[in-house]
Amino acid sequence: MSDTITSHTLNKPVCIVTGGSLGIGDAVCEKFSAQGYTVINLDIQANSIQSKAIHWLKCDVSVSSEVSQCIQQVIKQYARIDCLVSNAGIHFSGTIEDTSEADFERVFGLNVKGAIAATKAVLPQMKSQKHGVILYMASDQALIAKHNSFAYNMSKAALASLAKTTALDYAKYQIRANAICPGTIETPLYHKAINSYVAQSGADSDQVHAEEAALQPIGRLGQASEVAALSYFLASDEAAFITGSLQVIDGGYTAQ
């Protein structure tokens, strides 16, 4: 990132996306950038084909000190943060008996502690400017349970709670917080989970994908671009009265 601040960059809204190199995070970065935001992607790895307009900062989001340092760098550079999309996360399959303490801590370290660290780091700037939007990428599993998903399910429910409490505590500063709850979205994370299941069960990959699509009332998987579009709407002034909410985007799955 350049050390030179221009009046043009100061006038552009700034969005920080954690875990913005792949899947939904990548789509969110591209959407906000296309809409005129300065976008900073905090991720442990870069995406070589991501738009060059998106600034990548290497960051292990599970390490709170790294998150804080990167966000302080953004504040120093741009003197504003308009939106945080707390998206970084990992999936883990297993029942409570199948989940070791190390597995649990790894899931919560990124999915929940990472979100907490990012929230704490952006709040002082958002409070001072009396404006800001925080979006947590939760899951339909913030609302319902799924088999073999003890730790992941709990982590996403925690993000829903974080959105609600943050919304209430910081509404007086005109800071809004919401949780986005995607259903089954076709992303690298989805494909990794399916591949893991296929390897363990010996099931046919094409059949598993077809079954996943058939489980959705709308008859298909969701796309990362659709979640990005919802994210952008929630960050916009058109959503100025929406805070503390769980925004479901799941093809009707949780309505069943």
Q: What is the pLDDT of residue 185?
A: 97
pTM: 0.94
Report the pLDDT value the prediction gives residue 99, as an integer from 0 to 100: 98
% of the chain at pLDDT higher than 90: 92
Question: Over 60: is that where the pLDDT of 121 sits?
Answer: yes
The mean pLDDT of 33-58, rounded to a whole number, is: 98
Q: What's the order of all strands across the beta sheet hosting 246-249?
A: 55-58, 38-43, 14-18, 83-86, 132-137, 175-182, 246-249
Assign 159 to helix, strand or coil: helix
What local confidence, expressed as pLDDT, does residue 5 receive? 40
Task: Compare 204 and 6 and report the one with higher pLDDT.
Answer: 204
87: pLDDT strictly greater than 60: yes
- The pLDDT, as a whole number, for residue 10 is 65
Give yes or no for residue 9 having a pLDDT over 80. no
Please list the active-site residues: 152
What is the rounded average pLDDT for all residues in the chain? 95
Q: Express each pLDDT in 230-251 by its tens digit.
A: 999 999 999 999 999 999 999 9
What local confidence, expressed as pLDDT, does residue 11 receive? 85
Q: Is the pLDDT of residue 193 over 90?
A: no
Let me know: does 142 contact 94? Beta carbons within 8 Å. no
Residue 109 CB coordination number (10 Å): 17
**Confidence at residue 157, expressed as pLDDT on a 0 to 100 scale:** 98
**What are the boundaries of each domain within the chain?**
7-184+224-249
pLDDT of 25: 98
Exposure of 238 by Cβ count < 10 A (0-12 exposed, 13-18 middle, 19+ buried)?
exposed
pLDDT band at 2 (very low <50, low <70, confident <90, very high): very low
Q: What pLDDT is stored for residue 248 in this prediction?
A: 98
Q: Is 210 a residue whose pLDDT tops 60?
A: yes
Provide the CATH number for the domain formed by 7-184+224-249 in this structure.
3.40.50.720
The DSSP bridge pattern shows strands 246-249 and 175-182 to be parallel
